[in-house]
Amino acid sequence: MDGRLQIFSGSAHPALAAAIAGELEVSPGRAEVGLWKNGETRIKIEDNVRGSDVFIVQPTSHPVDHHVMELLLILDALKRASAARVTAVVPYYGYAKQEKKTSGREPISAKLVADILTTSGANRVLAVDLHAPAIEGFFDIPVDHLRATPLLARAFRRAIQDDVVVVSPDAGGVARAEDFRVRVGGTLAIISKQHPGPDATETLEMVGDVEGKTAVIVDDMISTGGTLIQAAKLLEERGASKVHVAATHGIFAADALDQIHASSIDRLFVTDTIPLPAGRTERIEIVSVASLLAEAIMRTHKGLSVSALFT
């Protein structure tokens, strides 16, 4: 791209957008993002973006619908202002758990969000640890799917030097846990589980030896915390000496933080794809994805390989 690189942000996570802009040594773009008196979202881009290569940083976290709408309106405003290319940087992709129908007469919400992002003017999407990798295929535009595992593994190894067993809390997360294990060493264990209902988890069984070892549960997100708490309890019953958690997206819905602090989990490592909610956070270590996103943005701007970040 020959145009200027510009970074804009919605209201979801301006601190992350500012950190990314700082890494890139550019000034954050000026935009009015707020509400009209009737409750509708108000967007006004205050900088000239004609011919620019623009990146919008907006995780679609709680309140999800509001942040999705902000992102759509910013995309539309930039397209109408003649930006040369607009990339939606979505560190956390909301509705990602609704990537398939689990019963009749349900929407595939993750696909719908992909469609409206494209219709609103996104030329590319940059996301971190999509809950379901198949979501990449929902887009008819390029998607760069970044992984936070290297950052989390590096932060974990700096803080914890014990011999560890890396635990996948379900069969679908084995590849992520194995990648983490390769980076920190140790062995692998897998917990089998089922979901009897929405946001409900029933742990079934575990494969692997954790007796007398430090266990680290590796997952893509912490929502209600139910999966982690049940997994930690099972690991403790099987003889694990300590239980840590490494996860990309710290959603911490409802009273998740209180429940986690009441559990046997010793320490949590989570990234800042989502702003951390106020509350009890003394056990949590935040690992910033600003440098990762900044590097991916610069590579996209210059037409370089983003995949090279993970080789």
pLDDT score for 198: 67
pLDDT score for 12: 98
Whether pLDDT at 310 is above 80: no
Query: In this predicted model, what pLDDT tens digit does every residue of 158-184 receive, in sequence order?
Result: 999 999 999 999 888 999 999 999 999
pLDDT score for 199: 65
Tell me the C-alpha distance between 70 and 59, whole Å: 11
Question: What pTM was computed for the model?
Answer: 0.94
What are the C-alpha distances in Å from 8 to residues 42, 68, 75, 148, 276? 15, 15, 10, 22, 21
How large a percentage of the chain has pLDDT more than 90? 85
Whether pLDDT at 101 is above 60: yes
Query: In this predicted model, what pLDDT tens digit does every residue of 267-288 receive, in sequence order?
Result: 999 999 999 987 777 889 999 9
Whether pLDDT at 1 is above 70: no
Query: In this predicted model, what pLDDT tens digit does every residue of 127-155 receive, in sequence order?
Result: 999 999 999 999 999 999 999 999 999 99
SS3 200: strand
Whether pLDDT at 204 is above 80: no
Point out which residues pair with 209 in neighbouring strands: none
> Can you point out the beta strands (E) in 52-121?
53-57, 85-90
Query: In this predicted model, what pLDDT tens digit does every residue of 219-278 receive, in sequence order?
Result: 999 999 988 999 999 999 999 999 999 999 999 998 899 999 999 899 999 999 999 987
**Would you state the structure tokens that stand for residue 213, as one six-digit string?**
């070892």
Amino acid identity of residue 254, one-letter, is A
Whether pLDDT at 201 is above 70: no
Class of residue 280 by CB neighbours under 10 A (exposed 0-12, middle 13-18, buried 19+): exposed
Looking up tokens 């979501």 gives 135
Query: In this predicted model, what pLDDT tens digit does every residue of 62-95 receive, in sequence order?
Result: 999 999 999 999 999 999 999 999 999 999 999 9
What structural domains does the chain harbor? 5-148+290-310 (3.40.50.2020), 149-287 (3.40.50.2020)
The catalytic site residues sit at 193
Whether pLDDT at 200 is above 70: no
More confident residue, 308 or 48: 48
pLDDT score for 192: 86
